[in-house]
Amino acid sequence: MADSSVPVRTLNNGIAMPQLGLGVWQANDEEAEQAVIWALQTGYRLIDTAAAYGNEAGVGRAIASSGIPREDIFVTTKLWNADQGYDETLHAFDTSMEKLGLDYLDLYLIHWPMPAVNKYKDTWRAFEKLYADKRIRAIGVSNFQPDHLQGLLADSQVVPAVNQIELHPYLQQGETVAACIAQDIQIESWSPLGGPRGNVLDDPVVAELGTKYSKSAAQIIIRWHIQSGFVVIPKSVHQERIQENIDVFDFELSDDDMQAIAALNRNLRMGPDPATTNSK
């Protein structure tokens, strides 16, 4: 069993968030339950799900059966697009909590800004109420670009604690990262290893570094996220990969090697563009 002492990032409201966790996107309910069981046994303490994933109940069952104190597990879920709006958000939150079987949530995120629909400000007011009622320890957003953040901050009382965005060596999102740093918003990387459109895991630079450090390509990339100050949530439903992905705290990439990975940026999205998507 791996050591559970994953580093933490202190959010802008003082809450400590583990810097590495398990994502369960594209896992069905049963797969997510088993993956979370393995992850918690291996030392993970951050679990990231979403209403849209359809596996909140499985995640909740795994947490309940783990024997780990609730306060030691950092649980994130996300509000789906169809549920945006003030009253709709409050109802959707209750539904998610019922599925998760939890009394409180550590982090709640608006899944997508959906600029053409333009409900995210009303949604954020509901988030602020849930936060004020102490039902959530921290609130944040996902896939928000600088203009979305600017619009939200203009009418909000609480600055988002986290912005979860697609981020990997081929899509480094410098402008969004800089905007978040300026507001003390923690960046969290989804799809941190890239994807099939341009598989970062097969990049020759990453492969060379893997040989240099005797680590897998995935471990090299995860370590790059960690040293960059991001929270990172690689997804897997395979026990051996779940174990491998957390085994990244016994080495450190040199400054030159960090720069070599930074030079790989291609502005290549694997997922939808937040500026235009209004359905997912």
pLDDT of residue 35: 98
**Whole-number average pLDDT of the chain:** 95
Whether the predicted pLDDT of 1 surpasses 50: no
pLDDT of residue 187: 98
What's the pLDDT band for 198 if we cut at 50, 70, 90?
Answer: low
Amino acid at 210: G
- The sign of the dihedral angle between the CA atoms of 231, 237, 243, 248 is negative
Whether the predicted pLDDT of 195 surpasses 80: no
Mean pLDDT of 186-207: 91
- Active-site annotation holds for 213: no
Mean pLDDT of 76-99: 98
pLDDT of residue 276: 82
**Which member of 53, 108, 120, 131 is catalytic?**
53
**Which of 65, 24, 75, 67 is CA-nearest to residue 45?**
75
Residue-range domains of the chain with CATH:
8-195+226-250 (3.20.20.100)
Whether the predicted pLDDT of 22 surpasses 60: yes
When mean pLDDT is compared across 39-48, 238-247, 270-279, the lowest value belongs to 270-279
pLDDT tens-place string over residues 93-109 = 999 999 999 999 999 99
pLDDT tens-place string over residues 222-240 = 999 999 999 999 999 999 9
pLDDT tens-place string over residues 146-192 = 999 999 999 999 999 999 999 999 999 999 999 999 999 999 999 99
